[in-house]
């Protein structure tokens, strides 16, 4: 390889190198929670698991996963003590955005086994799983 072509190579590959460095950094840091599917939640068998619905009360009343506890994202910071630190906690919302935010908050607060349910109640219903209004 000629010396003059080395700077050209560096200019062409630096975005790839920067992206790789970012991925490695984020992987090393860890998100503090796992992302799971609705199928994983449906198959969950931990007897002490908690299913946390972080939507608003009107959304919960329209239909939720049986046994889910309502703890809206808008109230989560002030009610962190209601979430045990040492039990599996499955977090879901409508589509997955708020549950990811809630999972980040819970992980930063020291909760150990947080599982963000990808796709939320929309994915749950699309999979044909039941909801309740009780």
What distance in Å separates the CA atoms of residue 19 and residue 8, rounded to the nearest whole number?
18
Helix or strand (DSSP H, E) at 11: helix 5-29
Q: Which of 23, 1, 18 is nearest to 9 (CA)?
A: 1
- Token look-up 């790839």 returns 16
Catalytic residue among 93, 105, 114, 123: 93
Active site residue 93: yes
Angle value at C-alpha 79, between 34 and 95, nearest 5 degrees: 45
Tell me which residues are annotated as active site.
Answer: 93
């Amino acid at each position: 390889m000629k010396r003059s072509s080395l700077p050209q190579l560096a200019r062409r590959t630096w975005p790839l190198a920067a992206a790789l460095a970012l991925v490695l950094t984020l992987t090393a840091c860890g998100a503090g929670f796992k992302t799971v599917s609705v199928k994983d939640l449906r198959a969950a068998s931990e007897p002490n698991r908690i299913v946390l619905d972080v939507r608003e009360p009107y959304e919960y009343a329209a239909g939720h996963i049986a046994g889910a506890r309502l703890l809206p994202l808008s109230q989560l910071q002030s009610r962190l003590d209601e979430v045990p630190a040492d039990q599996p906690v499955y977090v879901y919302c409508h589509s997955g955005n708020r549950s990811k935010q809630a999972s980040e908050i819970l992980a930063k607060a020291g909760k150990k086994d947080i599982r963000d349910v990808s796709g939320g109640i929309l994915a749950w219903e699309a999979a044909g799983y039941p909801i309740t209004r009780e």
